[in-house]
Structure formats: structure tokens, C-alpha cells
Amino acid sequence: MTGRVLDWHAFVRTWHAVVAVWLAYAAVRLALQPLLGWEPVDPDDWARLLQVRAWLDGQPFWDVTQYRMNPPQGFSMHWSRLVDLPLAALMLLVGETAAMALVPLLWLLAALFALRAIMVRLDFPPLAFAFGLLVLPLFPMLPATFAPMRIDHHAPQAVLALVCVALLIQNSRWSAIACGLCAAAWMVISLEGLPLVAVLAALYGVRYLVGERALLPWFLGSLAVSAAALAYGTRGPLVTTYCDVLLPGHLLTFAAAAVISAIIPFLPWQDRLAGRAIALTGMGLVCLQLAFALLGPCATNPMAQLDPVLQEWWHGFIAEGLPIWKQSPSVALTLVWTIGIIALGWWRAHCRGLFHQGGALPCTLLFLFAMAAGGYSLLVMRESVVAQLLAIPFAALLMARYLPKARTIAAPLPRIVATLAALGLTTPLFASAFAAPLDDLAPRAGMAPDVRALMEDGSCDYSRLAALEPGLVAAPFDAGLRILGKTDHTILAASYHRNQAPMVDLLTTFTGSVEQARAILSRRQVDYVAICGAAGDVALYRSAAPGNFANALVSGEIPRWLVLDERVSQGALRVYRTAF
């Protein structure tokens, strides 16, 4: 028996345990997938598939414009080819459907290996190690992120953040160089990662401040070189009027920071804490001033420049991009609970002497970065994916402490209650579930009950539009991407913020009067109008005014310049031909 215990203790720390857990999780998810369907899940997944299809069909690598939106100009996209690379490679090897199923699971495998690296570095006890590999499904934001067919950019961003932390708490130049490379890839995929990359740099500064090795120049040097190489390599010349990607101003600021950090160790008084603090503070102020001077208006939030129509009828309902005070109660509680798990887990690690000598600094670095990610998630909800991944090690420590105690209770009912309480304390799953009934009472980012009441029963099969001669379709944002994926049509607009004029036109069409709709659709030379009465965004548009265009289409009060195509229309789906 002792030998078996020792074998289990040794096995759980190996890479074999990671692969075993991943294979089990992947097998369950793939077994369930026939019930869920083998199609992309949301509009961003469809858009990613369209981007890779266009590339494999011959569109230039540097050109990520979506030409089937708002033809002939197309839709300018800020997306990066870095996310396309693994998907395209697997599509060529195993086909489109298998690639979409496997890519998210491969990102999950990378996340599990990063978690293992963190737990090895912090010398987790075996039981906590096991929980760290198994607990991911109990964090509400994570299972869907790594589910088959979820091929958007959120999973790679979160995994790169987790890998950066695993490298941050190591103690070598090579780990700092690798961290800089991963941080650069993270920002090339989405500039939304910039604030947390700045936190990474600050934590490398903390390592120097407390007298550890001077790894900051290696991190910043790698960041500067890698960011320039990846930005130019995946986007070509960085000549753009948009502020949502890495720009020369960013790259020059990174380079300046790398040079200054390399000089700092040779300045006077660097053997003293005060001297190091003054030098690091000066570097931060210089780089901040340089960034504002080089970036100008692009140093602010690009979403602040949205047209009021987009703010009212689009961005204000994109829950993943909104702060905590605009979230539903269940989501808001999940965000706060995640931060609480991180804080309580860190207290458990430090105040109860769980780590051996030498583990205090890496544990504190992990805690500080996790808290920064948790704080960021309060401003941008989708950052909670990063925060919840970083909360897993802390949750594992808490579980290893409280679950065994709960299981030692002799009486069955108290034991069950204590076990559920331990799980509820150490993960946000139950907190989110218990708060869900409040969502209807206090809707924030979601739609109010009176708006949801406008949704018809049923569903819509957009593949039916493939029977029509290809043309330009005006359809709500979410439906448009599915129409592109299942047919040869083009669409007027989709929800990508660089392209405000066609987006405003589409929203004005559905929320405005019938006369406004006719003027816009005629000017845009639209061939078809498609609308799904069961869709949430259509219900939202209907709530704008009783007699607007969306209500006219759903109620059957069809203007004379539209003709219902009864062959394609079915159930809640209505497809009209224009006859201007």
C-alpha cells in the first residue's frame, strides 16, 4: 500500500499525468459533441473560420480583410494570422471539422502543462497538484473557452498569459527571454493584453528591486525584438490609422525600455534598495511619457470613439467587453469570487507555511499577477478567462486543505454539506449558479425580460439561403457570419468595430423606420433581407420603436418593395427579395 501511495505521489507530478487528464477531458468533450453540433459556436468562431478559408483559398497572408462583408471594399479586421496558423495547418492535415474540434483542445493541453510548471516550481503537495490538474471544469468561464469548435482568439490569449506567469516565476535568463516572446505574441493577437504585459514588466522590476537577478533587461529585450518581428511578420508594414494593433510607437517604447533597463544595473547606488527604486521609477516615467508622445490619440481606448448608434445598439450589449457594474449578478459575483479565491489561496500559502524556503517570492509574483488579472476582469469581463486560469493553483491549495477535512466527517449528511461547502468556497461555480436567478431581476449587459418576450419560438436554418442566387444580404450581425459560413452570399455588415459606417447603416436599417430602411438598402444595393424572429438581437431591434423595420418584417407588414421568398423562409426565418 505504501508503495502505491508513493507511486501515485510521483505520478501526479509527471507530464504523463497531464496527458492522462487531458485525454480524459478531450474524450468526454468529443463524445458529447455530436449532441452539440460540429459547427462554430458564435460569430467570432465563424469569422475565424472564414479568415482561414480565405487564406487557404489564396488571399495574401498579410491581408486579413473580409471581402465578403460590405463588398467591394470589405471589412478591415484587426485580427492576427498567429491564431490562424494552427487552425490552417490542421485543416490541411485532417480537414476542417476535425481541425475545429482539435485546436481548442490543444490550447487546453498547453494550459495544463503551464499549470503543471507553476505547481512544480512552487513545490505543491501531491493532493493539491492533482486538484490543480482536475479543477478547471469548475471555473465557469473556462470549459466553453476550450470547447471543441471554439476557434476564436480568446483561448490562445489566455494560454499565453498563463505561460508568461509560469516563466515569470522561474529564475533564469532563458525563462525571461521566453516570457518576452510569449508576451509579444499575446499582444500581437490582441492589444488588450498590453496592460497585463506592463504588469509582467513591473514584476520583473520587483525581482530586481528586491535584489534578485537582473532579468528585466532580458525580458524587455526579448519583448522588443519579438514584438517587432511578430508584428511586421504577420501584418507587414505597420502603416495604419487604427489604434487597435501594435504600432511603431509601441515598438519604439519597448525598445527604449529594454535599453534603459540594460543600463540601470551600471548606475550608481544600485547596491541599495533606494537606488534601485529611483532607477526603476525613472525608467517607468520616461517610457510612459515616450509612449504618450509617440502614440498620441492611440494611447487611449479605441472603443471610446464609437458612433453613438453602435454604443447604444451594439457595444453596450457585448457583455464580454463591459465592466462589472454592467454585468448580470451571476457574472459579477463570479468575477469577485475569483479574486477572493486568489486572495484566500495566497493567504493559505503564506500564513500556513505551505511552501518550503525559497518559494515565497515566486508565489507572491503569481499572486500579484493573478490579482492584476482579476482587477482587469472587473473592467473588461473577458479577461476573467485569464484570471480564472491563474486562480486554479490557489483553488487547488484550498481544496487540498478543506476537502480532506470534510471527507473525515462521519455522519453522511454533514459530510455531504461540508464537501459541497468546500467546493463552493474554493471555486466560483456554485456562487455563479446560486446568483443566476437574480439575473432576470437585475438585467445589465443582457436584455430585459420585456425585450426577451419579443423573441419568437423556434430556430433558424441559415443554410436555406444557399438555394438563392448569390447576392448581398442585409441580416443582423450574428446571423450574417453564419450566412457567410453556410452560403456563397455576401453581407452588408458584421460586428467588427473598425467598420463603423456599414455597421451604423445596418443597425439604423433594423431599428429605424421603414422609409429609412428603404433608403439605406437601396443605396447599398442590397439583394436580400434575412431576419430570424427567434434571435435575441432581433428582439432588441424590435424594442427600439413599435413600427420600425424589424417589427414590420417579423409581423408580416411587408412594404411593397420587398417580396417574401416562401421557398427559403421557414419557421422564424424570413427571407425577402428587394424590388426597388
Helix (H, G, I), strand (E, B) or coil at 298: helix
What are the backbone dihedrals phi and psi of residue 577, each rounded to the nearest 5 degrees, phi first? Answer: -95, 140
- C-alpha cell belonging to residue 435: 446568483
pLDDT at 295: 87
Q: Please answer whether residues 40 and 100 qualify as being in contact, where contact means their C-beta atoms are separated by less than 8 angstroms.
A: yes
- C-alpha cell belonging to residue 418: 461540508
pLDDT at 71: 93
What would the mean pLDDT of 337-361 be, rounded to a whole number? 76
Q: What is the pLDDT of residues 61-72, one digit of tens each?
A: 999 999 999 999
Strand 562-564 to 528-532 pairing: unpaired
Residue 238 clears pLDDT 70, i.e. is over it: yes
| C-alpha–C-alpha distance, residues 54 and 49, integer Å | 9
Q: What is the pLDDT of residues 9-37, one digit of tens each?
A: 788 888 899 999 999 999 999 999 999 99
Residue 352 clears pLDDT 60, i.e. is over it: no
Q: Which of 423, 341, 398 is nearest to 374 (CA)?
A: 341
Q: What is the pLDDT of residues 77-106, one digit of tens each?
A: 989 999 999 999 999 999 999 999 999 999
Q: Which of 466, 469, 575 is nearest to 529 (CA)?
A: 575
pLDDT-derived band at 342 (thresholds 50, 70, 90) equals: very high
So what CATH class is 452-578? alpha beta
| C-alpha–C-alpha distance, residues 333 and 338, integer Å | 8
Instruction: State the Rg of the chain over Cα.
Output: 26
pLDDT at 321: 86
What is the torsion angle, in degrees rounded to the nearest 10, for the CA atoms of residue 268, residue 269, residue 270 and residue 275? Answer: -110
pLDDT at 446: 59
Helix (H, G, I), strand (E, B) or coil at 153: coil
pLDDT at 11: 84
Residue 300 clears pLDDT 80, i.e. is over it: no
pLDDT at 357: 57
Name which of 45-49, 112-116, 337-341, 456-460 the model is least confident about.
456-460
Please state the domain extents for the chain.
2-37+78-398, 452-578
Q: What is the pLDDT of residues 496-543, one digit of tens each?
A: 988 999 999 999 999 999 999 999 999 999 999 999 988 888 988 998
Residue 408 clears pLDDT 90, i.e. is over it: no
Indicate the pTM of the whole model: 0.92
pLDDT at 531: 94
Q: Which of 143, 148, 153, 151 is nearest to 45 (CA)?
A: 151
What would the mean pLDDT of 464-475 be, rounded to a whole number? 94
pLDDT-derived band at 421 (thresholds 50, 70, 90) equals: confident
Q: Please answer whether residues 370 and 388 qualify as being in contact, where contact means their C-beta atoms are separated by less than 8 angstroms.
A: no
pLDDT at 454: 81
573-578 sheet: strands from edge to edge: 490-491, 472-474, 528-532, 573-578, 562-564
pLDDT at 356: 58
Q: Please answer whether residues 216 and 204 qualify as being in contact, where contact means their C-beta atoms are separated by less than 8 angstroms.
A: yes
| C-alpha–C-alpha distance, residues 520 and 513, integer Å | 11
Residue 440 clears pLDDT 80, i.e. is over it: no
Q: Is the peptide bond before 72 cis (omega within 30 degrees of 0)?
A: yes
Amino acid of residue 572: A
pLDDT at 576: 94
Strand 490-491 to 573-578 pairing: unpaired
Helix (H, G, I), strand (E, B) or coil at 576: strand
Cα-based angle 197, 200, 204 (whole degrees, multiple of 5): 145
Greatest mean pLDDT among 33-42, 97-106, 348-357, 545-554: 97-106
Q: What is the pLDDT of residues 273-287, one digit of tens each?
A: 888 899 899 999 999
What distance lies between CA 158 and its chain's CA centroid?
A: 7
pLDDT at 2: 55
pLDDT at 444: 61
Report the mean per-residue pLDDT for the chain: 89
Residue 240 clears pLDDT 80, i.e. is over it: no
